[in-house]
Every structure is written in C-alpha cells, then in structure tokens.
Amino acid sequence: GNSVTQMEGPVTLSEEAFLTINCTYTATGYPSLFWYVQYPGEGLQLLLKATKADDKGSNKGFEATYRKETTSFHLEKGSVQVSDSAVYFCALKEGAQKLVFGQGTRLTINP
Amino acid sequence: DTAVSQTPKYLVTQMGNDKSIKCEQNLGHDTMYWYKQDSKKFLKIMFSYNNKELIINETVPNRFSPKSPDKAHLNLHINSLELGDSAVYFCASSQAPRRDYGYTFGSGTRLTVV
C-alpha cells in the first residue's frame, strides 16, 4: 500500500539556519504530495502541495519539489524563525483515496 | 468564522461511558473525515463521508460509529470507551475526493479516558 517516511525528529536548529526535512514515499500510481504543519494545540494546516512530477510547492518561505525519480518531497527553508517551531507532516494522496501521513517531524528553533 | 469546528475541544470521561464528538464545516465541501492522532503524533484515518455517504471505513472497532446528517456535519459516537481510545481526534473536510485536493482540519478534540 501507499506509505510516507519522514526523517526522525526532533530537529533542533538555531534561528536563521537552513532547514531540510526529508520525506520519501511509496505509491502504486501518481500521487499528489503535501506538507502540513501543526502548531502546538492546533489542528493541521496545509503548508504546500505538488500534484505532478517536477512541480515545486512553496509557501511562507518553505519549498518542496516533487521528485519522481527519487520518490521524494523534501521540505526546505533558507532561514528559519522561532515561529516555525511546530510538527511537520508529509502526506500523499492517490486518486480519490485517503490522505496518508508520515509520522511527523518535530522542529524546534532556538533564538 | 471557523471553517471546520469541532466540539468539545477537551473531553475527559470514565471507562465504559458513551460519548460523542461533533464536527461542522462551513466551506461547502462535499467530503468529511475523521482522523485519530496518537500520543506519538501518528495520524490514522478512521472514516470518510462524501455527500452523506460512507466511502472510507478503516479497521476501526464497532464501538466507533460516524453519523452524517447532512454534508456539513460529521459526528463521531463512541460506545463503551476504553483507555486505549485516549487520543486527539481531528475532523477534516475536502472539496471533493480528488487527488489534488488537500484537507482543511479542525482544531481537534483531546479525549482522555480514565
């Protein structure tokens, strides 16, 4: 079945550092890929998405490129802020099926 | 104007009780979902309804029963609560069950069974 694997957390960085959170997926067809963010005590918010190979999703300084050849969708940000501290989820969706999530990566940014 | 609202936000109850969680969306979406998030933050789908019709029913104990009176509401009723049911339950909605549509999530209901 379809699955998503994210890098193990927690990840701790200093403010203005470069961020990469790795995400790889397994799917039988051509899924859409998503990154969601969950701030403490809140629900998940859609951060960005890409629906086909080589698409780049971007939002709030975050970017991720759909790489079919490596089945990856790594999240990057050039300069993180304390306010980026949250749990980040990679997810995929194939056809009309359910959204399948990775295990989440907790990110902490220190001032 | 909350897009997907869940009530209650917190629910503490004793083992064996029956409880309900309500969810409403004002986005005009056709599809609604229930997800369970465990203590390690892992998210697992439980149910999905499209226009009041059940389309996804994962391996969930029969004690859990969803009800969709109309396409804007999806409630979750849980019978005979057990300690292992303690988790955060998220309701979500989507414009349609299409691969390129993401979900809009509610803020969650933290259920604690004691």
pLDDT in tens, chain A (111 residues): 889 999 888 999 999 999 999 999 999 888 999 999 999 888 999 999 999 999 999 999 999 999 999 999 999 999 999 999 999 999 999 877 789 999 999 999 999
Interface check for B27 against chain A (CB to CB < 8 A): the answer is no
Pick from B55, B90, B101: CB nearest A43 = B90
Cis previous bond, B8, omega within 30: yes
Number of neighbours of residue A22 by Cβ within 10 angstroms:
15
Q: Are B89 and B10 contacting, i.e. CB atoms less than 8 angstroms apart?
A: no
Residues of A in contact with B41 (CB under 8 A): 38, 87, 103-104, 106
